[in-house]
Amino acid sequence: MSPLPNIIRPVRLDEVDRAIINVLVQDGRIPNKELADRIGLAPSSSLARVRALIESGVISGFHAEVDARLLGKGIRAILRVQLREHSRAENARFAEAMSKLPQVVNLWLVAGEDDYLIEVVAASPDELSDFVLDCVTSDPVVADTYTTLVFSRWRGVGPIPTDDDA
């Protein structure tokens, strides 16, 4: 899993593009005919617009939202990780290693007191503890970790701002 480039030129969007994005953020599985009806376009025009948004990279994928609890992974936590060394090579190695672990749901390189935030799921407190000890703190580049349990989670509280002035 490679990170997105740090410098990205924003794509100019018109009102139709913004409407398409706002609908797809709420329901990525909406049939094209229904999408076209909701935004007031012919289905062929709607499909062409969606394809253009995909080709430009604005839409980077359509994903299934999986409830980890129903898969036996009822513990969710955010790990704050501080590294001893901050070279590009060590950052890349650490991020690559963490992103391959099945417990890792999300991984962010961040600025501030911490270097990484890692969202993980586990079946039990013991499994979470084993993960932190065996997979994270055992890495020689890790200086410190802090674990925060997640009690509740809400997916996206709203659409991504698509206005030019946002």
Residue 44 shares a structural domain with residue 80: no
Tell me, yes or no, whether 61 lies in a domain.
no
Per residue in 70-127, pLDDT (tens digit) is: 999 999 999 999 999 999 999 999 999 999 999 999 999 999 999 999 999 999 999 9
Q: Which domain holds residue 23?
A: 15-55
Domain boundary among 55, 76, 105: 55
Residue 129 shares a structural domain with residue 90: yes
Residue 45 shares a structural domain with residue 77: no
Q: For position 78, which CATH number holds?
A: 3.30.70.920
Residue 40 shares a structural domain with residue 110: no
> Between 166 and 52, where is the model more confident?
52
Per-residue model confidence (pLDDT) at position 72: 96
In this prediction the pTM is 0.78
User: How many angstroms separate the Cα of 108 from the Cα of each of 15, 24, 51, 79, 115?
Assistant: 31, 24, 28, 10, 8
The sign of the CA dihedral 116, 28, 150, 130 is negative
Q: Which residues contact 29 (CB under 8 A, 6 or more apart)?
A: 62
Cα 13 to Cα 162: distance, rounded to the nearest angstrom: 8
Residue 38 shares a structural domain with residue 97: no
Mean pLDDT score across all residues of the chain: 91
Residue 81 shares a structural domain with residue 142: yes
Tell me, yes or no, whether 79 lies in a domain.
yes
Domain count of the fold of the chain: 2
Q: Which of 22-31, 95-104, 116-125, 134-143 has the lowest mean pLDDT?
A: 22-31
Per-residue model confidence (pLDDT) at position 164: 54
Per-residue model confidence (pLDDT) at position 160: 67
Q: For position 46, which CATH number holds?
A: 1.10.10.10
Residue 38 shares a structural domain with residue 76: no
Tell me, yes or no, whether 110 lies in a domain.
yes
Q: Which residue type sits at 109?
A: L
Average pLDDT estimate for 41-52: 97
Tell me, yes or no, whether 40 lies in a domain.
yes
- Reported as a pLDDT band with limits 50, 70 and 90, residue 5 is low
Residue 133 shares a structural domain with residue 99: yes
- Identify the CA nearest to 136 among candidates 150, 119, 158: 119
Per-residue model confidence (pLDDT) at position 166: 47
